[in-house]
Amino acid sequence: MGRQVAIASAGFSEHSSKRSDVNIAELVSEAINDCLRNAPSVGFEDIDGYVTGNMPGFEGNSLPELWMTDWLGARNKSLMRVTTGGTTGGSVGIAGYYTVTAGLPNLDTV
Amino acid sequence: MEKVGIVGYYQVKSYADANYGRYEMIFEAVRGALDNAGLNKKDITTAISCTNDYYDGRTISNCYTIEVGGGYMTDESKVEMDGAHAVLYGLMRILSGNHKLALVWGGSMASCFPYHAARLYETDPTWERPTAYVNDITAAGFQMRAYMERYGVNATDIAKIAVKNRKNASKNPLALQEAQKADITIDEVLNSGIYADPVTELMVAQPCDGVAALLLAPEKQALSITDNPVWITGVGYSQETYYLGDRNLAESKSMALAGKMAFDSAGIKDPKSQIDVAELFEAYAHEELILSEALGLAEKGKGINLRSEIDGDLPINPSGGAIGGNPPCGTGLIRIIEAAKQLKGEANGYQVKGAKTAIASGQIGMCAQNNIIYVLEGAN
């Protein structure tokens, strides 16, 4: 049976109508770094796995989690990606919950 | 982890140019899996699909598959990777205790889109895509060359894997007809036209049309549905870095990490002696060697010495593997179904005798950047 799951931290990229100074991978890394800044006791080494989500058709990349690996910090980590259109953001949160609650071995922080 | 039961499955036969509409094919797979388990659509509590918007030619492509894909009024989501990753999400949903029956399906119709052109959208958009020098085919050439040079393996050795899998495919009625070659020779493989030197055409798992579906249930429900479920006892998945120059292409780091995670959770200490049959997603013949070595089934560079025929010491891809039919987004899911068939004794014509423990894998990315592997055990 599933275990309890807590949201330990959250982060955002800098938002504006057009960010011409970064590409998509760099934008994602801003949010991840902010998320880690907001949880000072957690570092990249504490992250066991990743759940990502985006709509590849909107941004011109297929399977973008692959070339973004190092911007995510996901090298040699478990990773799953969901896509459900405009609801992708919510679906990622749900998939994160399921990843932790499932209790797969060594997959505690995603 | 707690074990989860596979209680039903169905694979639509692979075709190079299927006489189906896409949604007919999905419907046949989903209905087939339900019939296989003796269940109805209303029994499904969650549905996970696997397609790729670039392969389907439309964004949010799962909007159009809800009804035929068993997702109507259920807790539905989509994993856009390999079908084996969609099974992972279905498995997590069952393990959460929130769901009693998860439907997972995946596949696509490669006859309707230019597969290798679509895969160019996977490449680094700034530095690689404009020139297209790095793509899924050239990457496979680098990978095979790296493996051969590192371990002193020659192309003839690798052609033997293509020969084995195409001979095995000829015994599997659901395999791609064009892949089924009972009398194929090593020379035929080597002379079949260069894809990206040294990879030749018959070493490639050709993309084709196909859909497969699977039903997962918690232990208690699984035993009430069938006397003979197949248990998922372990899963592992990992992803290595993207840039080919940063990777050792002669090995698979992601499969080594995925294998460790899966074997730890299934309590497998010595994969080589404890596993009876393997179904590995080899996008190219040489990947079967690299992946099986990463899993510890053979020493590095010695995979070719493994007796992996159907009647060998450790049969690999008795169904013909991905070379026997590679419907994008369905291939890894089909590996799981083929492994389950072996454990249930349903692999007519290519059954491995006495198979009790099996592994099945899926992958995405150039040179199998992301790998996922399952350990399955038979009920009897």
| A70, amino acid identity | D
Q: Is the pTM of this model over 0.95?
A: yes
ipTM over 0.95: yes
Structure confidence at residue A1 (pLDDT): 65
Q: Is residue B16 part of a domain?
A: yes
**B99, B119, B121, B251, best to mutate vs chain A, most A CBs in 10 Å:** B121
- Distance CA(A108)–CA(B222), nearest Å, equals 27
Sheet holding B370-378, edge to edge: B75-78, B46-50, B102-109, B209-218, B4-11, B230-239, B370-378, B357-364, B277-279
Check A68 against B242: CB less than 8 A apart: yes
Q: What is the mean pLDDT of each run of 10 residues along chain B (380 residues)?
A: 96 97 96 98 97 93 94 95 98 97 97 95 94 95 98 98 98 98 97 97 98 98 97 98 97 98 96 98 98 98 97 98 98 98 97 97 98 94
The answer to whether residue B356 sits within a structural domain is: no
- Give the DSSP H/E element, type plus range, for residue B376: strand B370-378
Residue of chain A whose alpha carbon sits nearest to that of B93:
A98
Contacts of B122 in chain A (CB under 8 A): 61-63, 66-67
User: Does residue B91 sit at the A interface (CB-CB below 8 Å)?
Assistant: yes
Has residue B247 been placed in a domain? no
Q: Is residue B61 part of a domain?
A: yes
Confidence class for position A57, pLDDT limits 50, 70, 90: confident
Q: What is the CATH number of the domain that holds B47?
A: 3.40.47.10
Residue range A18-41: mean pLDDT, rounded: 95
Q: Is the dihedral of CA A35, A39, A45, A50 positive or negative?
A: negative
Percentage of residues in chain B having pLDDT higher than 90: 98
Mutate which of A80, A97, A106, A108 to disrupt the B interface (most B C-beta within 10 Å)? A80
Residues B118, B79, B241: CA angle, nearest 5 degrees: 65
Q: Where are the alpha helices (DSSP H) in chain B?
A: 22-37, 53-56, 83-95, 115-119, 136-151, 155-169, 186-190, 219-225, 253-266, 271-274, 285-294, 331-344
Tokens of A63: 């399977």
Does residue B270 belong to any structural domain of this protein? Answer: no
CB contact under 8 A, A83 and B80: yes
pLDDT at A105: 84
Q: Which residues pair with B11 in a beta bridge?
A: B212
Q: How much is the pLDDT for B1?
A: 85
B204 contacts B139 by C-beta, under 8 angstroms:
no
- Residue A108: the pLDDT is 87
Answer yes or no: is B45 within a domain: yes
The whole domain housing B96 covers 4-115+208-225
A2 touches chain B (CB under 8 A): yes
Q: Is A60 left (phi over 0), alpha (psi -120 to 50) or beta?
A: left
Distance CA B229, CA B234 (A): 15
Count the domains in chain B.
Answer: 1
